[in-house]
Amino acid sequence: MRRLFRFEQDKEEGKLGGKVVWILRGSWRREVRQGLTGPDQRQVSATGLLPPYIPMDATLYLGKDDGWPYKLVLVGRKPTTLLDTRKEGVDGRKIGSLSSIERIDPTNITLEYTNVQINPTLDPDAFAFQAPPAASVEDGTEMIVKQLDSAIAMQAERKKAEAAKKEGPVLNQSLEVPLPPGASSVGPPPQQ
């Protein structure tokens, strides 16, 4: 939710079904709105109000004690000005009367978790799966592992080839090697 919505207002404490919650209110982040399209697949405006069919405002109810998102309400905003949805004629003027302008009700989406159990005791047998006797079971694990191994090997070979193409010194500067204790100068080791 934090990636999509900017919760700028101060949180307020409230109750939801007898549970103490934080209520947070926010709206779409501008940088996320760029990918939104309308029913005609046109991009929606990156600034200003969104069309009423796209929820612009979010209200999130987080459990104060457990941080669980118990309820999320997404609501579109009613247009503040008259949105003229009439078609244009060849002369650029709108066709039809003002009463034929389509009225779009704002979207209202509510997601609510009502029977939340945090850290319940679960029986592992409830998750055991046995395919029906007549089912055709295909196990593609070995094929996928071989494909992954092949892709990794190709990547390694490509990196080796790129490293071999580089010419010249590997380092841009020489390395300074400290003198061993008791040595006074750098030179070839003494012959014995």
pLDDT tens figures, 162-184: 877 776 666 677 778 888 887 77
| Interatomic CA distance for residues 59 and 11, integer angstroms | 10
pLDDT tens digits for range 32-54: 777 777 666 677 776 767 777 78
Look at residue 186 and tell me whether its pLDDT is greater than 60.
no
- pLDDT at residue 138, as a whole number: 87
- Tokens at residue 32, please? 């996320």
- pLDDT at residue 84, as a whole number: 64
Q: What Cα–Cα distance (Å) separates residue 178 from each residue in 126, 163, 175, 189? A: 66, 29, 10, 15
Q: At residue 123, what is the residue type?
A: D
| Interatomic CA distance for residues 19 and 48, integer angstroms | 36
5 vs 189, more confident: 5
- pLDDT at residue 131, as a whole number: 85
| Interatomic CA distance for residues 159 and 131, integer angstroms | 44
21 vs 1, more confident: 21
CA Rg, the chain, in Å? 32
- pLDDT at residue 36, as a whole number: 73
Contact of 57 with 4, CB cutoff 8 Å: no
The domain locations on the chain are 5-79+103-118
Q: Which helix (H) or strand (E) is 109 found in, with range?
A: strand 108-112
Percentage of the chain modeled with pLDDT above 70: 79
pLDDT tens digits for range 50-84: 777 788 889 999 999 999 999 999 998 877 655 66
- pLDDT at residue 89, as a whole number: 81
Residue 148 — pLDDT band, cuts 50, 70, 90? very high
- pLDDT at residue 118, as a whole number: 87
Question: Quick one: average pLDDT of 80-99?
Answer: 71
Contact of 51 with 44, CB cutoff 8 Å: yes
- pLDDT at residue 90, as a whole number: 86
Q: Please, what is the average pLDDT of the chain?
A: 82
Is the dihedral angle over the CA atoms 10, 11, 14, 15 positive or is it negative? positive
